[in-house]
Amino acid sequence: MTRRVPALLVALLAGLGALSLPSAPARAAVLEVTYSPLSLGDYCSAKVDSSSTIGFHNGSVSCYRWSTGGSGLTYTGGGSATAACAYFNPSAVFLGHAQGAGQALICRYSV
């Protein structure tokens, strides 16, 4: 019996040591959100020019308003894709952006 006690103590301590080892950190999930040209219009109106109604992403954000008489679009200024992603989701950790279909903006966030 006296030989079993030290062996049990060693096994118990080894088990407790294994439980206290730090585990691998959890991987953060990546969230991708697509913002259409109409959504980009909200960013353009708030941050570029208040008359902006639509925005397109083609490497950078270009902002436009409808021309008088409905004859097309008038350029109102340029914005930053990174700033647009931060504008739409200010509490998230921004990872990057990409070009979406129809000149939409895809923002990647860590959640």
- pLDDT one digit per residue (tens) for the chain, 111 residues: 555 545 544 555 455 454 454 555 667 799 999 999 999 999 999 999 999 999 999 989 999 999 887 679 999 999 999 999 999 999 999 999 999 999 999 999 998
Residues 6+ apart with CB under 8 A from 41: 52, 53, 54, 55, 63
Distance CA 1, CA 6 (A): 10
The pLDDT score that the predictor gives to residue 25 is 66
The pLDDT score that the predictor gives to residue 28 is 74
The pLDDT score that the predictor gives to residue 19 is 47
Domain that holds residue 99: 24-110
Say if strands 93-99 and 73-79 run parallel, antiparallel, or are unpaired: unpaired
The pLDDT score that the predictor gives to residue 71 is 75
The pLDDT score that the predictor gives to residue 69 is 76
The pLDDT score that the predictor gives to residue 3 is 55
- Give the pTM: 0.72
What total number of domains does the chain contain?
A: 1
2 within domain boundaries = no
9 within domain boundaries = no
Q: Is residue 16 exposed (0-12), middle (13-18) or buried (19+ Cβ within 10 Å)?
A: exposed
93 within domain boundaries = yes
17 within domain boundaries = no
The pLDDT score that the predictor gives to residue 7 is 53
DSSP string, the chain: -TTHHHHHHHHHHHHHHHHHSPPPPPPPPEEEEEE-HHHHHHHHHHHT-TT--EEEESSSEEEEEEPGGG--EEEEEEE-HHHHHHHH-TTSEEEEEEE-GGG-EEEEEE-
48 within domain boundaries = yes
